[in-house]
Amino acid sequence: MTADSYGTLYIVSTPIGNLKDITFRAVEILSSVSMIAAEDTRHSKKLFQHYNITTPSISFFEHNRTARIPQIVTNLKKGNHVAVISDAGTPGISDPAYRLIREAISEGITVESIPGSTALIAGIVSSGLPTDRFLFEGFLPPKKGRKKRLMNLIDQDATIIFYESPYRLIKTLKEINEILGDRPAVIARELTKMNEEIIRGTVSDILSYFNNKKPRGEFVIMIGKNDTNVFFK
Ligand code: SAM
């Protein structure tokens, strides 16, 4: 088979909460490909049922990627179109899809993105922090290397965006306060969901907010740059 007859790998963005945040094209592609590689097939079932998508799906996540990538690539090389989706948002943004994408590219397979939701963009545009320059840091490492990563950010002339789990939110905010200082900060919680919440202030304001409230759900942390004068009144 030549590259001309290979199938296409579609990188399909799915909702980050609200099931309606998906494009017509995404639903069309998910319904027409031969196979969907989904981070968690049980989780994605809800989306498939909502849009009546009956395409066969296989799981593709961090711990089975070594075995799965060659299977998916073989499928694509046979001429089958495959869509990759993650649990939420855009595949490849803080999830293992990028490894599949890299492998497909190196095998001469066409890769096409079907754009849509991603938490960092939904978060930064609602934050009120400057959007002219921003730096996406993703997740800090859970244990080693956190402080070093933060120290490298001290002089960045940009709004900095982090992803964080509820379990490490407080720890991360405390370390940000210690290393980057008490800068303007915004937390976007549960974006597009029923309990969406945007908390604006400084890093210490946000820490105080969570003093009496256990962090729950999904979070984007956004930190203003060092000399920013965009404080919230
Ligand atoms: N691929 C996804 C994207 O495009 O945003 C990100 C996947 S990453 C494994 C999951 C992290 O994204 C969460 O821990 C949280 O930091 C952020 N996230 C995802 N959905 C979110 C939401 N509805 N509200 C706030 N943050 C969210």
pLDDT tens track for 189-213: 999 999 999 999 999 999 999 988 9
119-230: CATH topology: 3.30.950
Residue 211 CB partners (closer than 8 Å, separation 6+)? none
Ligand 1 mean position, distance from CA 132 (Å):
22
CB of 184 shorter than 6 A to ligand 1: no
Question: What's the CATH code, domain 3-114?
Answer: 3.40.1010.10
- Place 4 in a pLDDT band, splitting at 50, 70 and 90: confident
Protein residue with its CA nearest to atom 16 in ligand 1: 163
Mutual angle of helices 65-77 and 97-106, in 10-degree steps: 40
pLDDT of 80 strictly over 90: yes
Quick: pLDDT tens for 102-116: 999 999 999 999 999
Q: Is 94 in contact with 220 (CB distance < 8 Å)?
A: no
Is the distance from CB of 104 to CB of 74 less than 8 angstroms?
no
Alpha carbons 173 and 66: distance in angstroms, whole number: 34
What is the residue extent of each domain of the chain? 3-114, 119-230
Contact by Cβ (8 Å): 1, 76 = no
Give the count of beta carbons closer than 10 Å to the beta carbon of residue 143: 6
pLDDT value for 96: 87
**Beta carbons within 8 Å of 113's beta carbon, 6+ residues apart:** 10, 11, 13
Check residue 200 and give its pLDDT. 96
Q: Does residue 89 line the site of ligand 1, with CB under 6 A?
A: yes
CA distance 216 to 173: 15
- Give the pLDDT score at 213: 92
Does position 231 have pLDDT exceeding 70, yes or no? no
What is the mean pLDDT of the segment spanning 155-169? 96
